[in-house]
Structure 1
Amino acid sequence: MVRDVARQVADRVRAGFGLRLSTMEPVTSGADEHARLWRAQATDGARYAVKLSGGGTPAGLVVTAYLAEQGVPGIVAPLRTDDGHLSIDQDGRRLTVVPWISDQRALDGPMTPAHWHAYGEVLAAVHEVPVTDELSRLLPVGGAAYPAIVTATRAMAERMRDPADLADPLVADLAGVWSAVADRLGVLTGEVERRAVDTRDRSGPHVVCHGDPHLGNLLLGADGQVWLIDWDDAVLAPPECDLMFVRGGVLAFAPITAAQQRAVFAGYGRTDVDPVRLAWFLAVRALDDLSDWTRQALDVEAAAADRARAARIVRGLVSPLGLVTLADAAVRDLDRRC
């Protein structure tokens, strides 16, 4: 079955993009459960990321094509089909081809000071591009989904208070995790709702944001070069929507150090980060990650390894260095400032 899908995709790539693929190797490191990704090699030796996306919109493709046209560094433009489109429909899903630029993910390291500096430069260049009418139509507003995220978090909290299958060790473990952070989640959900209007009404530009620029979406090259990939979550938002991954410390499963932050902002060139917007975006992301990864861990139809991985991520999110803890600290710091 897997080989059949790969063969069908290769045939579609040949017909639509004019590329003859000799090999297609599945890549399973991503977190998008609606997508399938292959590292493909063409008969001429060139390598490509071939992706079949089942969720979201094509906005990310439009954004990367536009950013590349604007000369933004660290952006890999998608290939266009023979008739000029950015994707092909494959049984209701988007089939895209992008040059495979590097095998080295920043998440696997090592990140040099030059890489951190270049990462800041890329974010700054992205935030500075003019917002076109097309992007205004295509891109959602960052954080606009917060009511659904709050609802999903409260529903999951209710479910985990009395889970149906405590005989499952994984379920029992997750129930304990949610019980231990119940008070913190109550604070975060309340703060997300309470500060939503304040965050929206605060002065400042809405710019093109990647929306998910953690180290898993950053590739490394020689001489400090970096590439920011996977733009499926691109939004129009205040810069804090992206900068929370630096100032808020959520770039990876370990906090970013002070020296690394300095290197990023030396490349970014600005330090006027609004603490209210930063804390709000952190809290929204924390709730979304916690509820969604818990949902995946509870999915009895999923493979045992996938469920176990999701459960590990949930435990990491509520650890002393995890995103829930960081968001809770940022929100509480706002109260201390008042």
Structure 2
Amino acid sequence: MDVVGWVRDEFALELSEVDEVPYGADLRARLWRGATGDGARYAVKLSGGGTPAGLIVSAYLAERGVPGIAAPVRTRDGLLFAERDGYRLSVVPWASDWRALDGPMTEAHWRAYGELLAAVHAVPVTDELERLLPGGGDAYPSIVAATRDVAGRLRDRADHGDPLVAELVATWAAHGDRVSTLLGGVERLAADRSGPAVVCHGDPHLGNLLLGPDGQVWLIDWDDAVLAPRECDLMFVVGGVLAFAPITAEQEKAALAGYGTVDIDAVRLAWFLAVRALDDLSDWTRQALDPSGSPDDRARAARIVRGLVSPVGLITLADIALRDLDGRR
């Protein structure tokens, strides 16, 4: 596919350089860093699934003056994306090469991160957003079903000739009690997780955060945007996981100082944390089991599974949050 020509035809941009970027977990998308002759740089994304809701949300947030949002470049016809042969092409200004995942984040970055989330959560929810965005956590029944399906597949594996499969079988067996706790907690607390819905990014981990000088930050990749209680995003800040390691007390303090005064509901926080933990565990395990995947991709997925069940991983933290919740009742 001639992406350079497509960008020229639809967005009136002449890219002189295009380099594919290997980041991201969306197997249906490809991302390039493109540059024009005058040095301007852009993130060029080709999507083969999902919806354009994330582009609509980020454009809306940028128009409302929310800091740290890169507004999509519009096509010659004023649209947020172009479509061709079942694919969607979007172009966004390239904000920074400095990923928060690679660090280090200063106290000013953490504070700006909190300010950004607060500004997102404060925007009015329009009728269009209500139509476009799913409710945060609404997919939990399918996540529960997928987790049970993967658990069953691993229990039934008799042939452990594949060392990676053998490792996954052992991992799920060793952590089966915690997985069961999360499954039970998600189903038991589902009715208690509702609350005032705001616009949420849905996935504001460090891999989706870019850094700049003087504490500047940008939150990118709005494909998972939802309408949900603010805990859907704040679970990444309050005792949550941002990059396969718990946020420290100092980092949490700085982020919440930027966010401002907020009454965080412990039930909603634990519920969203547990749903995310199960979704990550089942999805990455499926990718590690997929025989059609490359050895490198399967090995990476298995490493992520190991991180999820580690003493500082998301499965562990979600399990602790649910048990702490039970202890309060």
| TM-score, normalised via structure 1 length | 0.96
**Equivalence for 1:81:** 75
**Equivalence for 1:315:** 306
Would the alpha carbon gap of residues 43 and 322 (structure 1) be closer, same or farther in structure 2, given more than 3 Å must change?
Answer: same
Partners of 1:106 and 1:131 in 2: how far apart? 28
Which of the numbers 134, 142, 145 marks the counterpart of 1:151? 145
Preserved contact between residue 240 and residue 273 of structure 2 (Cα < 8 Å): no
Cα deviation digits, residues 217-266 of structure 1 (max 9, x gap) = 00000000000000000000000000000003211111110010000000
**Equivalence for 1:302:** 293
* Matching of residues 1-338 of structure 1 within 5 Å: 5=1, 8-163=2-157, 165-200=159-194, 204-338=195-329
Partners of 2:84 and 2:167 in 1: how far apart? 40
Q: CA deviation at 1:164?
A: 5.3
Cα deviation digits, residues 129-181 of structure 1 (max 9, x gap) = 00000000000000000000000000000001122541000010011110011
Q: For this pair of structures, how many residues does the alignment match?
A: 329
Preserved contact between residue 182 and residue 319 of structure 2 (Cα < 8 Å): yes
% of aligned pairs identical?
A: 72
Cα deviation digits, residues 162-201 of structure 1 (max 9, x gap) = 225410000100111100111111111111011101212x
Say which SS state the counterpart of residue 197 (structure 1) adopts: helix
Partner amino acid for 1:32? D
Preserved contact between residue 24 and residue 39 of structure 1 (Cα < 8 Å): yes
Q: CA deviation at 1:303?
A: 1.1
Preserved contact between residue 112 and residue 215 of structure 2 (Cα < 8 Å): yes
Partners of 2:65 and 2:236 in 1: how far apart? 24
Partners of 2:123 and 2:298 in 1: how far apart? 40
Partners of 1:245 and 1:165 in 2: how far apart? 38
Structure 1 outlier segments of 4+, above 3 Å: none
Preserved contact between residue 102 and residue 219 of structure 1 (Cα < 8 Å): yes
Partner amino acid for 2:210? L
Partners of 1:174 and 1:87 in 2: how far apart? 40
Partners of 1:270 and 1:95 in 2: how far apart? 39
Say which SS state the counterpart of residue 247 (structure 1) adopts: coil
Q: CA deviation at 1:43?
A: 2.2
Partners of 2:42 and 2:27 in 1: how far apart? 21
Say which SS state the counterpart of residue 142 (structure 1) adopts: coil
Q: Which segments of 5 or more consecutive residues in structure 1 lack a partner in the other structure? A: none
Partners of 1:165 and 1:148 in 2: how far apart? 28
Q: CA deviation at 1:44?
A: 2.1
Say which SS state the counterpart of residue 96 (structure 1) adopts: strand
Partner amino acid for 2:152? E
Partner amino acid for 1:150? V
Say which SS state the counterpart of residue 49 (structure 1) adopts: strand
Say which SS state the counterpart of residue 262 (structure 2) adopts: coil
Partners of 1:198 and 1:223 in 2: how far apart? 40
Partners of 1:90 and 1:328 in 2: how far apart? 44
Pairwise CA RMSD: 0.9
Partner amino acid for 1:127? H
Cα deviation digits, residues 5-44 of structure 1 (max 9, x gap) = 3xx1111100000011111111112111111000111122
Say which SS state the counterpart of residue 236 (structure 2) adopts: helix
Partner amino acid for 1:93? Y
Preserved contact between residue 248 and residue 282 of structure 1 (Cα < 8 Å): no
Cα deviation digits, residues 111-136 of structure 1 (max 9, x gap) = 00000000000000000000000000
